A and B are shown apart, each in its own frame.
Chain A
Amino acid sequence: MKIESRLAQIGSQNDPDTGAVSFPVYQSTAFRHPKLGQSTGFDYARTKSPTRKVLEDAIAELESGDAGFACSSGMAALQTIFAYFSQGDHLIVSLDLYGGTYRLLERIMSRFGVTASYVDTNDLDGLETAYQSNTKGIVIETPTNPLMMITDLELVCTWAKKKGILSIVDNTLLTPFLQRPIELGADIVIHSATKYLGGHNDVLAGLIVTKGKELSEQMAILHNSIGAVLGPQDSWLLMRGMKTLALRMERHQYNATAIANFLQKHPLIAEVFYPALEGHPGHEVQNKQSSGNTGIFSFKVKDARLVEPILRHIQLIAFAESLGGVESLMTYPAVQTHADIPLEIREKVGVDDRLLRFSVGIEHVDDLIADLDRALSLAQAELEGGA
């Protein structure tokens, strides 16, 4: 079955008792044992919960993995995976990484003896240099956020396998509709499902998919022991969002491509970072390993003084953190999502005060371009008036 069909059918035929097309929300925490030592498969909601299980099975199948785990946020998913490692272990992590991941590693995991090196994960020589005898895993974001750098997953996962380390791929921006890292050799896929999978800026959630029996069993133990699991209502809302994933991603991508092209030609814009554009350094690899492009991109304005008035003048596009929702959002990474990353790392990758990130929604593209065009003109007029 094609992925569009599988997405639309999530949970649809799973309730044998009533035939309900929408899977019920099992708000129950405890489950009666038919007899001592016997179980219905459900004992306590932290360990396994019926609504959450439908979601977990769906994401595992969509990502071509063996087991899925739903967590209370993307960071909770990452934290659960990090608990797989021990004191003295070392990780290699994408240089242009999400601020929350950096914070978790540097402020919390570091206190428990887990260290990390931040490198361009697409540079094999750099990976060799960063590799240490205690390296146990590599965490890859592709495309990265916000600079949309692409990593060749097949190449790097093969390298990781040779080294005997776990490869963990954050697939938040592309979703299994456009990219399936496990098919390219990854061991673990992680999602902030708050973004495209949920798609409506109304659910905070994280997902983990593992490949292999042993790894899946170990992850199940960690998931249950740490207890950062997703609630039943949020599990249900997330499945509801995922049913329209294909439709949304197609529209996100169409809008983003049109707007990226518009901005690339705009006189106030210095640079547009979007792998769908032909001049993007990762364009070819992206086309090889994914069936399309994400709905967010970043761009640099020519003058940092334009940022504040642009954000003030956008009307249809909201100025807010997060991405991947049906509504368009503009983020200023240097002060919002990436504020916790030290200036030297941010500048090394190019997250500076001229960079804006645009999560393109599914509104009509003409309205979005008009809103942006108007905000840019007003910002320019203010700048000239003030100068």
Chain B
Amino acid sequence: MSTSNDEKRRAQAKFATKLIHFGSEIDEATGASSVPLYQASTFHQADLEASQEYDYTRSGNPTRQALEDYIALLEGGERGFAFASGMAAISSAFMLLSQGDHVIVTEDVYGGTYRLLTTIMNRMGVESTFVDMTNMANIKAALQPNTKAVFLETPSNPTLKITDIGAVAAWAKEHDLLTMLDNTFMTPYHQRPIELGIDIVLHSATKFLGGHSDVLAGLAVVADSSLGRRMKQIQNGMGNVLGIQDSWLLIRGMKTLQARMEMSEKGARRLAQWLSEQPDIDVVYYPGLPNHPGREIHEKQSLGYGAVVSFDVGSGERAKKMMSRVRIPLVAVSLGAVESILSYPAMMSHAAMPKEVRLERGITDGLVRYSVGLEDIEDIIEDLEQALRG
């Protein structure tokens, strides 16, 4: 009884409290204030007849389990799963499908997801259609008799387009389609898709959840127990699980998620505002800007705008020049860390996408993506200004 009372209390706590008191924050055996690293691959079977919780680390490990329960609690889902990378989580979700199935996907989906679908899943008989999901009619038009799933990314990467999660989830339920959503940019602090009707939430936990550019990891949370059983079979069957040290590091990072997101988002809002005031910046993409076409829907379904701002400096030449002059952000792939990271989608995250497809999706040669870290925002702006104007 007390266990279920504890669970209830945890589920009802405010987000910041959940982040610290998630159930495994104290080790039962020793009272230790941090989950131990169970660096074991196998577990002694005390009794042949009795089944025990852990037998082999690929199938289950106490440190990884603590993380999996943690993300399930934060996302308000039934069960969590930890994977070796965000792509390992996403590829596992697609393995729920079968040959002959069709999936509708957000048009400007992450380049790695695009590559997975168009070079591997297609060979396995899974067909995909990429649509602009800002318009429900496009999604409806893509429906085929063999459509089995819808894959959403909102805000999308890197042009931060907004999809109405609740509307898509409701429509998908009517047609008996599985819904999956990549929640990397928002994290459960800002957006909890399961509460809006989504079946599977996916994360590249390498980004905001880990938050320190020091763990490669993926997470999945499912909304119900039958999906949980299917996902478990895939995770255990394919063995693409997260290691022990990395599970522990991710838990450690997640404890400060809200504090980090609050500060980074505040900085991003200021940066987006400043950029939109600059006459020589062509376009600024940020859902918090008053002129962002998806702002209203985003505000309905999310509690914040996130820490990523994309903007078009006009040409590839100018983008390259600016990137060589910045002093604060790391010029690198990835995002969502304590340090600011400046990326060039055309040559980095979306390099796997054919040029004509890339341009069609607004990922121009002048487009850069700024992931705002925890540095002082005035320093960030001053640095950007000298890089742009110099």
CA distance A325 to B56 in the complex (A): 13
CA distance A194 to B243 in the complex (A): 12
Q: Say yes or no for B146: interface residue by CB 8 A criterion.
A: no
CA distance A229 to B239 in the complex (A): 10
| Residues of the A chain whose Cβ atoms lie less than 8 Å from the Cβ of B112 | 225, 227
A108 touches B214 (CB 8 A): no
CA distance A386 to B231 in the complex (A): 45
Interface size class of B (residues with CB under 8 A): 35 or more
Residue of B nearest to A235 (CB): B243
Residue of A nearest to B334 (CB): A30
Q: Say yes or no for B177: interface residue by CB 8 A criterion.
A: no
A26-69 vs B, CB cutoff 8 Å, 1 = contact: the mask equals 01111111011100000111100100000000000000000000
Contact flag A231-B216 (CB < 8 Å), given A46-B87, A113-B99, A320-B45: yes
| Residues of the B chain whose Cβ atoms lie less than 8 Å from the Cβ of A228 | 83-85, 88, 91, 238-240
Contact flag A36-B347 (CB < 8 Å), given A108-B234, A228-B85, A329-B42: yes
Contact flag A43-B332 (CB < 8 Å), given A100-B239, A108-B95, A204-B243: yes
CA distance A225 to B97 in the complex (A): 18
B213 touches A28 (CB 8 A): yes
| Residues of the A chain whose Cβ atoms lie less than 8 Å from the Cβ of B206 | 29, 45
Residue of B nearest to A105 (CB): B237
Q: Say yes or no for B4: interface residue by CB 8 A criterion.
A: no
B42 touches A75 (CB 8 A): no
| Residues of the A chain whose Cβ atoms lie less than 8 Å from the Cβ of B282 | none
Residue of B nearest to A85 (CB): B123
Determine, out of B65-73, B113-121, B150-158, B165-173, the stretch whose residues face the partner at the interface.
B113-121
| Residues of the A chain whose Cβ atoms lie less than 8 Å from the Cβ of B125 | 87, 112-113
Q: Say yes or no for B245: interface residue by CB 8 A criterion.
A: yes
A73 touches B44 (CB 8 A): no
A319 touches B45 (CB 8 A): yes
B182-211 vs A, CB cutoff 8 Å, 1 = contact: the mask equals 000000000000000000000000100010
Specify which of A111, A201, A202 is in contact with B99 (CB 8 Å cutoff). Answer: A111
| Residues of the A chain whose Cβ atoms lie less than 8 Å from the Cβ of B115 | 225
| Residues of the B chain whose Cβ atoms lie less than 8 Å from the Cβ of A332 | 48
A226 touches B41 (CB 8 A): no
Q: Say yes or no for A335: interface residue by CB 8 A criterion.
A: yes
B240 touches A73 (CB 8 A): yes
How many residues of chain A are within 8 Å of chain B by beta carbon?
Answer: 70
CA distance A86 to B124 in the complex (A): 5
| Residues of the A chain whose Cβ atoms lie less than 8 Å from the Cβ of B136 | none
Q: Say yes or no for A321: interface residue by CB 8 A criterion.
A: yes
Total cross-chain contacts (CB, 8 A): 220
CA distance A79 to B92 in the complex (A): 11
B238 touches A76 (CB 8 A): yes
CA distance A100 to B249 in the complex (A): 29
Specify which of A35, A44, A225, A318 is in contact with B120 (CB 8 Å cutoff). Answer: A225
A226 touches B240 (CB 8 A): yes
A103-114 vs B, CB cutoff 8 Å, 1 = contact: the mask equals 110011001111
| Residues of the A chain whose Cβ atoms lie less than 8 Å from the Cβ of B320 | 36-37
CB of A163 to closest CB in B, whole Å: 21
Specify which of A30, A37, A103, A202 is in contact with B41 (CB 8 Å cutoff). Answer: A202
Which residues of chain B from 258 to 283 have a CB within 8 Å of any chain A CB?
A: none
Residue of B nearest to A236 (CB): B245
B40 touches A201 (CB 8 A): yes
Contact flag A201-B48 (CB < 8 Å), given A31-B332, A79-B240, A228-B84: no
Q: Say yes or no for B233: interface residue by CB 8 A criterion.
A: yes
A230 touches B238 (CB 8 A): no
Contact flag A112-B124 (CB < 8 Å), given A73-B240, A104-B238, A204-B243: yes
A111 touches B98 (CB 8 A): yes
CB of B60 to closest CB in A, whole Å: 11
A33 touches B332 (CB 8 A): yes
Which residues of chain A from 301 to 323 have a CB within 8 Å of any chain B CB?
A: 307-308, 311-312, 318-322
Residue of B nearest to A308 (CB): B48
Give the secondary structure class of B's interface: loop
CB of A113 to closest CB in B, whole Å: 4
A33 touches B243 (CB 8 A): no
A327-369 vs B, CB cutoff 8 Å, 1 = contact: the mask equals 0010010011000000000000000000000000000000000
CB of A169 to closest CB in B, whole Å: 19
Q: Say yes or no for A206: interface residue by CB 8 A criterion.
A: yes
| Residues of the B chain whose Cβ atoms lie less than 8 Å from the Cβ of A206 | 239
A100 touches B213 (CB 8 A): no
Which residues of chain B from 234 to 257 have a CB within 8 Å of any chain A CB?
A: 234, 237-246, 249
A198 touches B41 (CB 8 A): yes
A233 touches B245 (CB 8 A): yes
Q: Say yes or no for A74: interface residue by CB 8 A criterion.
A: yes
CA distance A230 to B210 in the complex (A): 17
Q: Say yes or no for B328: interface residue by CB 8 A criterion.
A: no
Q: Say yes or no for A121: interface residue by CB 8 A criterion.
A: no
| Residues of the B chain whose Cβ atoms lie less than 8 Å from the Cβ of A237 | 39
Q: Contact residues of B with A, CB < 8 Å? A: 39-49, 55-58, 83-88, 90-91, 95, 97-99, 112, 115-116, 119-120, 123-126, 206, 210, 213-216, 218, 233-234, 237-246, 249, 319-320, 323-324, 330-334, 337, 341, 344, 347-348
Q: Contact residues of A with B, CB < 8 Å? A: 27-33, 35-37, 43-46, 49, 71-79, 83, 86-87, 100, 103-104, 107-108, 111-114, 194, 198, 201-204, 206, 221-222, 224-231, 233-234, 237, 307-308, 311-312, 318-322, 325, 329, 332, 335-336
Known: A86-B124, A100-B239. 6 other contacts (CB 8 A): A72-B239, A76-B238, A87-B123, A108-B238, A227-B90, A234-B245
30 contacts between A and B (CB under 8 A): A27-B249, A29-B215, A30-B333, A30-B337, A31-B332, A31-B333, A37-B320, A43-B333, A46-B87, A71-B84, A74-B239, A76-B88, A77-B239, A79-B238, A100-B237, A103-B237, A112-B126, A113-B125, A114-B124, A194-B57, A203-B41, A225-B120, A227-B112, A228-B91, A228-B238, A229-B85, A307-B48, A318-B44, A320-B42, A329-B42
A-B complex: 5 closest residue pairs judged by Cβ atoms: A75-B239, A227-B87, A228-B240, A73-B239, A233-B245
